[in-house]
Structure 1
Amino acid sequence: MFVTLPPDRARRSTAVALVVAVTTLSASCTSGVGSSPSAARASSAGTVGTPSGAGTSASTSQPTSAPTTAAPPAAPPREEPTPEECAKAVVRGLSTAERAGQLLVVGLDANARRTSLDRLIRGRHLGGVILLGGWTSGRDDVRAATRHLSSLPDRPGGAPGLLLAADQEGGRVQQLRGDGFTRIPTALEQGTWSPAELRRRASRWADELRAAGINVNLAPVADTVPTSIGPANDPIGQWDRQFSSDPRVVARSVAAFIKGMHEGEVATATKHFPGIGRIRGNTDLTAEGIVDRTTSRTDPFLRPFAGGVAAGTDLVMVGSAIYSRIDPGVQALFSRRIVTDLLRKRLGYQGVVITDDVGAAKSVAATPVGQRATRFVGAGGDIVLTARPDTVPAMHRALTARMGADRDFTAKVTAAATRVVALKAELGLVDCD
């Protein structure tokens, strides 16, 4: 997402709870429900009896020893709740407005005041913030912003912390630069490296993000651009954002990137499902040229997304192109056939699904602002991402109003909020005690 930069700007492993078989519908949610077997319980100290010993007999007049009291059974070790168990408990305690707020992530521009979103985040109970606009002044500036943002959630008993995201793909799409951030090569160059080398470097990039207070990287790009289209593909190919034109190479690179990010304890968002490598229009800039007439439910270009799911990606970003062979006339993020049937059921992904930008993007301009949120959640999605803070109130109102009128929709919001909070639990952003 967000490729429209100004022209002059060129989890830890144990936190992966989304690893699922590519072709099998997982029985667990984001948390990886089902903890490992408990440790063996301590046994009691023994039975009460008269000690035996040489020279002791029933005929002696010596008094017998006092009975030995058995030690009480050791208390079983306290098992930590799984992220899903924690999330369910937390979400049960959230109001309607708070549940809706967890599904909204808003952009903070590099040129905006660091406090400009404070009232919005607190008043609408937002789930996260993405840093936009090109933060070029280095790690300390980013860290000051993320430290302030992290302090904002305030709710009796503690509120889930914020997802703090950045687009740190490489090449022209690297929002965080300057001292403390390595200049990352384009994905096309990264795709020429061995998986081990890409994983090693991605781990180092993740260390930089974590040191700056970022916990989610909206990467890697899993789109494959055919050589027959190449730079004519405006959102990806023009900027060398693809790892390769071979989906098998893309799949290997996607998995290596994810694993490296996880080693650095940063969550990933594999994008832009089900692939925008075959369209010509940039969905950020236009509603024209965004119909894909080739991709099908069994397309080999889905392989990189399946690889991302198998590697444990924490989020999957759904784009706003239209796929006429899957759901004609319906944009992907509003399509139940794509979000639920293809991604969740066919690919077996049970984690967090996030939109590409639906605030400033021209591709969704014809859809009323509030409906951009309700239609996405209705299709089976979770997080609505908007680059424009002024769209948040309408989205939040639409979500809460629909919840008040539709029991089935309320259940979808609750399920979505649970997936989001489970991810936050994996990232240490929720107090589960």
Structure 2
Amino acid sequence: LSALLIVLALSGGEDAPQAPTAAQGGDRPSRAAAPRGPGVPRAISELVEEMSTDRKVAQLMLVGLEGFDTGDPVFDSLEELDYAGIVIGARNFVSEEQVTALADEASSVSGDADHTAPWVMAPQEGGEFNAFEGVPPEDAPAQVGSTREAAQLAEEAGEALLDLGLNGILAPVLDVGPSGGGAVGERAYSDVADQVTGYAIATVDAYEEVDIFAAAKHFPGLGSASQSTELGPANVGLTLDELEVRDLVPFRAAVEANVPGIVVGHGLYGVDDFVTPASTSETIVTDVLRDDLGFEGVAIADDLTAPAITSSFRTTAAAVDAVTAGIDTVYVSQDDELQRDVFDALSEAVRKKVITRERLDEAVTRTLVAKHEAGVLEIEGGGSGEPSEDGGSSDGGSGGGG
């Protein structure tokens, strides 16, 4: 099942006036077949076939929290909607015990509603880029001195998050930073592609060793971006050929190392005339990530409330464009009302066949396979597809937590 893993994308902001989007042009048939081969457990294929459209659409979404406690509106939504999972960020952090309470509540609410077990993730990149203060790794990526140290820190971070009740980490950052830091600053391990590649392999292997789902970011590379996507549109002045020999090198290595998830960023690239964010670009997601790099895991769109998106597009329209482009999971960090609007927009796109049933099933299957691989969705016998007696089942049992 190693071929079927995962991809991801993430930031913050309000809906802006809508700009023209690819999805508004009507039907756009999926160019990729839904994953139903021998690598997909029969129970997962059956579950996808039996799931309602609402459940499938909710599985396209990762959502963030607004507050610090289990009274956050997202938990009411989790009871109603079978969201793929939640992301706990720095703004939600008070203490380790409180994080565990949030993680436990997410799993409990989803289980009581007979939903699939949710992802509970955090962006724990290192140093000041950690969601949780005082939790490893202590050093920012740029401060890490060797691949051995990077592997050790990744292992410590993975184990720490698992101990807190989480099952996913939005890391490692595989951007190749330009000399002088650039927009990514100390989030980048190095400004040399081959060095970042070494860190990519070391960290991906370490996360796999401790059995935590990891999503490398920000594909296809933000190292040369004009500014952070958390500030606004970010032009990356590199051609596809230049990306191939520089920024894509670490991601290609991560794919070969079986990274289960990849977060696609919101950079603007020449291949799309610096107009279409990577997270909504079929060229970037399908042609480059899927066809060129051969990635078969879950592709996650970075936070669609980031100013890089909302300065030109509505978050709702961007979510539809992302899924039609080949993204499997869209991340919407805030707020509950906007998250509901995104769910409604995706549902409407499925009803109008802007998002085809094949594309919907493909995305949901990738997510469920990834959850199974990470031990979040339990299926007895793995490849046999038989439901487990203690959790996961072909009728959508919540499975085990991570």
TM-score normalised per structure 1: 0.76
Equivalenced residues, count: 352
Q: Determine if the alignment matches structure 1 residue 198 to structure 2 residue 150.
A: yes
What secondary structure is seen at the aligned counterpart in 2 of 1:172? Answer: helix
Q: Tell me the CA shift for residue 371 of structure 1.
A: 1.0
Whole-angstrom CA distance in 1 between matches of 2:355 and 2:72:
37
* CA contact 1:101–1:127 (8 Å) conserved in 2: yes
1:358 paired with 2:312, answer no
Aligned to 2:163: 211
Change (3 A) 1:29 1:242: farther
Q: Which amino acid aligns with 1:100?
A: V
Task: Name 2:188's counterpart in structure 1.
Answer: 242
Q: Which of structures 1 and 2 has the bigger CA Rg?
A: 1
Q: Answer yes or no: is 1:304 the counterpart of 2:250.
A: yes
Cα offsets for 1:346-389 (capped at 9, x unmatched): 00001100011102434334212321211000000111101113
Deviation (angstroms), 1:87: 2.4
1-structure distance, mates of 2:370, 2:324: 20
Please name the residue that 1:75 is paired with.
none
CA distance in 2, matches of 1:137, 1:186: 21
Distance change (3 Å), C-alpha of 1:171 and 1:370: same
2:394 is aligned to: none
Shift of 1:262: 1.4
Instruction: Give the aligned CA root-mean-square deviation in angstroms.
Output: 2.5
> What is aligned with 1:221?
173
- Matching residue within 124, 129, 145 for 1:173: 129
Q: CA deviation at 1:155?
A: 7.2
Counterparts of 2:177 and 2:315, CA distance in 1: 31
Instruction: Percent identity, please.
Output: 25
1:16–1:312 contact (8 Å) kept in structure 2: yes
User: Which of 113, 120, 140 is equivalent to 1:186?
Assistant: 140
CA contact (8 A) 1:295 1:301 kept: no
Q: TM-score, normalised by structure 2?
A: 0.81
Confirm whether residue 335 of structure 1 aligns to residue 281 of structure 2: yes
8 Å CA contact 1:167–1:218 kept in 2: the answer is yes
SS in 2 for 1:283: coil
Judged with a 3 Å threshold, the aligned counterparts in structure 2 of structure 1 residues 352 and 274 are, in CA distance, closer, same or farther, namely: same
CA contact (8 A) 1:130 1:166 kept: yes
RCO greater where, 1 or 2, for CA within 8 Å and sep 6 or more? Answer: 2
Counterpart Cα distance in 2 of 1:320 and 1:307: 21
Q: Which runs of 5+ in 2 are unaligned?
A: 7-31, 380-386, 388-402
Structure richer in helix, relative to its length: 2
Kept in 2, the 8 Å contact 1:30–1:84? The answer is: no
1:123 paired with 2:80, answer: yes
Preserved CA contact (<8 Å) 1:135 1:177: no
CA distance in 2: counterparts of 1:413 and 1:279, whole angstroms: 31
Give the secondary structure class of the aligned counterpart of 2:99: helix
Asked if structure 2 preserves the Cα contact closer than 8 Å seen for 1:402 and 1:410, the reply is no
Of 233, 251, 263, the residue aligned with 2:209 is 263
